[in-house]
Amino acid sequence: MPPLFAICAANAGVTALLGDGPTRLYPFGDAPENVAKPYAVFQVLNGVPENYLDDPPDVDAWNIQIDIYATTGNSAEAVQKALRRALEGVCHITRLGRTGTEPSTQLKTTSLDISWYHPT
């Protein structure tokens, strides 16, 4: 798995919004109850080895979704932008989600998907 958390937690723009110690970026389903907002969760959508005819794969292509939750749409969009800036030097941003409202919590949400080639 690519070092998503390490890259984001080392970026001042991300930690200005998601904090440090800990940075509020969690694997999907692992965000603590009543976590401070904004926060983000990530999940691997899929991973595909780069197969070769004569050699084993030396790189995998990972597709990862990041969902952002905040109390305002502007805050969610600011986190999306900070994550994008932190990550676009090491992977490809493949989708930017629209801002909406999570029905059960009324939190504002947006997302982004990334494609990351990472050595095995």
pLDDT, position 50: 86
Question: Measured between alpha carbons, how far is 82 from 44 in angstroms, rounded to an integer?
Answer: 20
What is the model's pLDDT at position 46? 95
Structure confidence by residue, pLDDT tens digits, 42-67: 999 999 988 888 988 899 999 999 99
| Number of alpha carbons in the 13 Å side-chain half-sphere of residue 13 | 13
For every one of its 120 residues, what pLDDT tens digit does the chain have, with 9 covering 90 and above?
899 999 999 999 999 999 998 999 999 999 999 999 999 999 999 999 888 889 888 999 999 999 999 999 999 999 999 999 999 999 999 999 999 999 999 999 999 999 999 998
Q: How far is CA 93 from CA 20, 33, 45, 89, 110, in A?
A: 24, 29, 14, 10, 14
* CB distance 79 to 107 below 8 Å: no
- Give the tokens for residue 76: 């969610």
Class of domain 4-119: alpha beta
Q: What is the pLDDT of residue 107?
A: 98
Domain ranges for the chain, please list them: 4-119
pTM of the predicted structure, to 2 decimals: 0.93
